[in-house]
Structure 1
Amino acid sequence: MIEAGDDSIVQDGTVNIHGQPADKKKTGNWKACYFILGNECCERLAYYGMSTNLVNYFIERMHQGNATAAKNVNNWSGTCYIMPLLGAFLADAYLGRYWVIAIFSMIYVIGMTLLTVSASVNALKNSVAVAFVALYLIALGTGGIKPCVSSFGADQFDETDEKEREKKSSFFNWFYFSINVGALIASSVLVWIQTNVGWGWGFGVPAVAMAIAVVSFFSGSVLYRLQKPGGSPLTRIAQVLVATFRKINVKVPADKTILYETPDDGSNIVGSRKLEHTDKLRCFDKAAVPTGSDDIKGTPNSWRLCTVTQVEELKAIIKILPIWATGIVFSAVYSQMSTMFVLQGNTMDQHIGPHFKIPSASLSLFDTLSVLFWVPIYDKLIVPFARKFTGNERGFTQLQRMGIGLVISVFSMVIAGILEVVRLNMVRKHNYYDMETLPISIFWQVPQYFLIGCAEVFTFIGQIEFFYDQAPDAMRSLCSALSLTTNALGNYLSSLLVTIVMDMTTRHGKLGWIPDNLNRGHLDYFYWVLAILSVLNFFAYLWISMKYTYKKATGHVK
């Protein structure tokens, strides 16, 4: 256990790469984060450089239709955001965040290399099987990195130190900023290379970027603060459920001091502080009620008697689930940038001057530019201004921040729908039904991309910070992974909506809302569906967030 009061040692239980208590001056803080931000920037450059234009790769190289290609991209993207549950479990339970990032980064590099080979070697260029093996290796690799890297960066700031705790909130903003620096290069330079040079080079450059990401990560090893894994969080959750069931007939006492907890200031969970008892979900308090058969003086059987902190871990997870669920519709809106926005842009005039065409997938750079614009504005201007009125050191609470983003996302779908109405009116007016590219500039799509970028700064960054902050100390990777699954389910929801609307609108010989020739479809109707779902989702979120209470941790980490 770390001795409280030792000013040279970090008090949150972190250790250095050698397993010794982390030194405040030699480890952590921004000097360690620069390597993490460099890693994230290059990794996201690799990911977006490969994924941004993937729908066109499926259409051009794999000869798939619009709806099929969109569903394949959504399903693969969804898998990329489901796999973090595996990486997070390994990090929290056994390996720690550092080693999970290191191992899964290697898998990622192998996947990127195989994808490059499949796009370059003539014998493999049309092989769907090889391409999908590569893509799902990448999904596995990103599954180990994504749930750990933001939490690993936040671990570099001591939560028991007021000055470092303030820096941690700023870290999440700049972490997301670094993501979008990589995305900016991907959606501009790399998409252009894929469109004008070839898919081999277009995937090869991201593979090199991923290799650089690995080098950047390992370069900062001696500076990192590592949180020790706390054992299987799923086992602890199961213990609370079993103990509660065993004591189903036990009455929870009105005096909460009777509930079992370790006598010292530290929790018996490695890497975790104690959590204060809360009055919500009191049925689970039964697991912490001592009975005559429980040995509270020795080491109780955790399958019969759990500590208050262990019970509160489960409560914390259950409490954030409704907030988590409201992120699914937002993620479905966000996923349109890599599918429907690209398909919509394919039908518009992509020329910049007489000789240069901008690929439709490159329009996502305006989403990235929006994020790069709004992050410093939010961090340096909006937060100090809002702080004067709210009194909150963050400017807005995490829940308020996410809610603002949800509102902005509605307008992005409305703008996209209006543009499609204008585009289809031009088709009908001039009989452009079979015209591949309409004489309407693709840059009319910029507002819908820009609004989604603004929404991201509020909702996604707020979400990252919320799930890190509200997670029990020993479950932070798992909760970060849980937040990422909203992206997965958002992609799956989008894929499901495409399937449903195509099934319902292609009956009786009709082409449906999203045919291969969008000039004969009604993509605007699909945007209206998403706008309506977003409005309903916001009101559900408003009701849920008003009932939410933030967690309170006490004591120190063992």
Structure 2
Amino acid sequence: MEGSVSIDGASPSFTHGGWITFPFFIATMAGLTLAAAGWNNNVIVYLIREFNMKNINAAQIANILNGCVSIFPIVAAIIADSYLGSFSVIIISTSLSLLGLILLTLTAILDTLKPPPCETGSSFCQNPSKSQLAILYISLALASLGAAGTRFTLATMGADQFNNPNHQGVFFNWHFFTFYAATLVSVVGIIFVEDNVSWGLGFGLCVVANLVGLVIFVFGRRYYRLLKPQGSPFTGLACVMVAAFRKRKVALSFKSEDYCHEPQGEGRNTLRTTPSNNFKFLNRAALLTEGDTNSDGSITKPWNLCTLQQVEDLKTLIRISPLWSTGILLCTPIAIQLSLIVLQALAMDRHLGSHFQISAGSMIVFVMIATSIALTLIDSFLIPTWRNLTGRTPSPLQRIGLGHILTISSMAISALVESRRLSVARSHNLNGNSVVPMSTLWLVPQLVAVGVAEAFHFPGQVSLYYQEFPKSLKSTAAAMVAVFIGIAFYLGTAVVDLIRKTTRWLPDGINDGRMDNVYWVLTATGIANFGYYLVCAWLYKYQNVEKVELQ
């Protein structure tokens, strides 16, 4: 593979990359996911019980953290693509998350790092001090940034080990399967330890899992295919816009020789000889004018002239951006739902039998189970069946569309279940956050629906952007999924704040509110966004997917 080197800088051989690297990436993903899921999915409960925070405030902090975990991968991807490479970024990020988890474990173990517990039978609770909050937030920030830096960079580096697009697709499926399966184990095991044994022991297990993942990843370095950082691709994209503006009055040409082309030997399999017809105003950026090049053919002023490939790369991003934007409103309802589910579970009967009680933070386990099973069935049954019936595999856009429909269904189910929960609460004259005599298993159908939805749309999104984005933006392509997830979490936080300020649907005591109305709003938003998605998908023309899907 051109542009790749071994760890010692030697030329790559057949031993670098390929399926021999697969166990290392999957095992690393498993360890890091065990660690991240063990604290992240129970952080709301930890803040409420150990730091005496109000329910909605704790949920909002969790949304901000999840937004950070989802937004930061784009920064990590840019650093990986432009400067350090994926290997170094993963090492640094994993070390940061390890440091953050160690500090978080100390907040659980040392009494001086957290406020005293609320007095039994009293509503008085002492708030944490500024120093206690500072240490808590630093630990959460480090753990979040570390988890963010590896989540999609690890996926991209793993896909870089394969040349065959079908093999890359198989890797992505197993990558996501490992993510959900490891999260499932963590939510069932580690969170149970946190709630029923010790927060310190539970967070300590996260530390061990993170450390094991780091060691496994480093141990496999001799087998990896490492791509050299090529410098920031965004500089070239910015150059296109600047150069096109400066030459806005220059007449366009239809001759290939009038445009600046990529130098030979740049590792691209196909290069356009003439510019495409869409977004013609950008073609001027590659148009040769007097004084643009030196006698040896080199570019005199980079911000006055770009290559035709850089122009086409920017056009690719513009064409796909409407599709990308639909992912924001697809994930915003999910982001809100996952935080509200914890609050609902805390106010419902979580007993299974007379002795076992489900942890509120473990409710997400049903999403993980549904997603893991669905991914397996999709990969082993649905896709082969679809291929046998139609002669081709389901396109990424089709998988994403099914994810939209299932997500909307999940929001509608959530609204109906919450309406029943509130009805039961009122029939028993329960207010505040009193436990309603209604099993948390009522929450399972909506979680299963959103889990199956994620099995369709997340791999579909990653596969679409990885194959459609320009070669120089491969790491960034995978991280773009994380970006709209992060935006969705922040947007979800803003939506919840807006609802709290303008309505009485989300008071501190959820039995006094109308959370079902929130879910109905999310359902309506999802329907409108799905209509927008259908228009974008209908207008979009694949650049690369159709060329490789039958290989």
Q: Do both share a fold (TM > 0.5)?
A: yes
User: Residues 529-551 of structure 1, C-alpha deviation per residue, up to 9 Å, x if partnerless?
Assistant: 11111111111111111111223
Alpha carbons of 1:338 and 1:198: their partners in 2 closer, same or farther (altered >3 Å)? farther
Separation (CA, whole Å) in 1 of partners of 2:100 and 2:89:
17
Separation (CA, whole Å) in 1 of partners of 2:176 and 2:195:
27
- Confirm or deny: 8 A CA contact 1:13 1:21 kept in the other structure: no
Indicate whether 1:22 and 2:27 are aligned: no
Partner secondary structure for residue 5 of structure 2: coil
Matches within 5 A, 1:198-209: 198-209=198-209
Counterpart in the other structure of 2:92: 103
Separation (CA, whole Å) in 2 of partners of 1:407 and 1:275:
38
- Confirm or deny: 8 A CA contact 1:337 1:364 kept in the other structure: no
Alpha carbons of 1:241 and 1:524: their partners in 2 closer, same or farther (altered >3 Å)? same
Q: Which amino acid counterpart does residue 284 of structure 1 have in structure 2?
A: L
Separation (CA, whole Å) in 2 of partners of 1:275 and 1:53:
50
Counterpart in the other structure of 1:4: none
User: Residues 46-105 of structure 1, C-alpha deviation per residue, up to 9 Å, x if partnerless?
Assistant: 111111111111111221212211111111211122222221111111111111111221
- Confirm or deny: 8 A CA contact 1:405 1:456 kept in the other structure: yes
Counterpart in the other structure of 1:424: 422
Partner secondary structure for residue 457 of structure 2: helix
Indicate whether 1:156 and 2:145 are aligned: no
Separation (CA, whole Å) in 1 of partners of 2:481 and 2:365:
24
Counterpart in the other structure of 1:146: 151
Counterpart in the other structure of 2:463: 465
Q: Which amino acid counterpart does residue 226 of structure 1 have in structure 2?
A: L
Q: Choose the corresponding residue for 2:43, options 36, 54, 58.
A: 54
Alpha carbons of 1:230 and 1:443: their partners in 2 closer, same or farther (altered >3 Å)? same
User: Residues 154-185 of structure 1, C-alpha deviation per residue, up to 9 Å, x if partnerless?
Assistant: 00101xxxxx3321111111100010121011
Structure 1 residue 435: Cα displacement: 7.2
Q: Which amino acid counterpart does residue 242 of structure 2 have in structure 1?
A: V
Q: Which amino acid counterpart does residue 509 of structure 2 have in structure 1?
A: N
Indicate whether 1:543 and 2:535 are aligned: yes
Q: Choose the corresponding residue for 2:474, options 471, 476, 492.
A: 476
Separation (CA, whole Å) in 1 of partners of 2:467 and 2:389:
23
Separation (CA, whole Å) in 1 of partners of 2:412 and 2:82:
44
Separation (CA, whole Å) in 1 of partners of 2:188 and 2:533:
35
Counterpart in the other structure of 2:168: 168
Q: Which amino acid counterpart does residue 385 of structure 2 have in structure 1?
A: F
Indicate whether 1:69 and 2:68 are aligned: no
% identical equivalent positions: 33
Structure 1 residue 552: Cα displacement: 4.7
Alpha carbons of 1:190 and 1:255: their partners in 2 closer, same or farther (altered >3 Å)? same
Partner secondary structure for residue 439 of structure 1: strand
- Confirm or deny: 8 A CA contact 1:502 1:513 kept in the other structure: yes
Separation (CA, whole Å) in 1 of partners of 2:407 and 2:369:
16
Alpha carbons of 1:197 and 1:238: their partners in 2 closer, same or farther (altered >3 Å)? same
Separation (CA, whole Å) in 2 of partners of 1:180 and 1:139:
18
Separation (CA, whole Å) in 1 of partners of 2:390 and 2:278:
26
Specify every segment of 5 or more residues in structure 2 that has no aligned partner in the other structure, as ranges: 116-131, 546-551
Q: Which amino acid counterpart does residue 408 of structure 1 have in structure 2?
A: L
Separation (CA, whole Å) in 1 of partners of 2:276 and 2:101:
47
Partner secondary structure for residue 437 of structure 2: strand
Q: Which amino acid counterpart does residue 82 of structure 2 have in structure 1?
A: A
Separation (CA, whole Å) in 2 of partners of 1:257 and 1:525:
62
Separation (CA, whole Å) in 1 of partners of 2:160 and 2:2:
9
Partner secondary structure for residue 277 of structure 2: coil
Structure 1 residue 273: Cα displacement: 5.0
Partner secondary structure for residue 33 of structure 1: helix
Partner secondary structure for residue 304 of structure 1: coil
Structure 1 residue 446: Cα displacement: 1.0
Q: Which amino acid counterpart does residue 442 of structure 1 have in structure 2?
A: T
Separation (CA, whole Å) in 2 of partners of 1:75 and 1:41:
24
Indicate whether 1:498 and 2:502 are aligned: no
Separation (CA, whole Å) in 1 of partners of 2:439 and 2:314:
52
Q: Bigger CA drift: 315-324 or 400-409? A: 315-324
Separation (CA, whole Å) in 2 of partners of 1:293 and 1:430:
83
Separation (CA, whole Å) in 1 of partners of 2:248 and 2:195:
63
Alpha carbons of 1:185 and 1:345: their partners in 2 closer, same or farther (altered >3 Å)? same
Q: Choose the corresponding residue for 2:111, options 122, 127, 137.
A: 122
Indicate whether 1:92 and 2:81 are aligned: yes
Aligned length, in residue pairs: 525
Counterpart in the other structure of 1:450: 448
Separation (CA, whole Å) in 2 of partners of 1:465 and 1:148:
14
- Confirm or deny: 8 A CA contact 2:68 2:486 kept in the other structure: yes
Counterpart in the other structure of 2:519: 527
- Confirm or deny: 8 A CA contact 1:31 1:223 kept in the other structure: yes
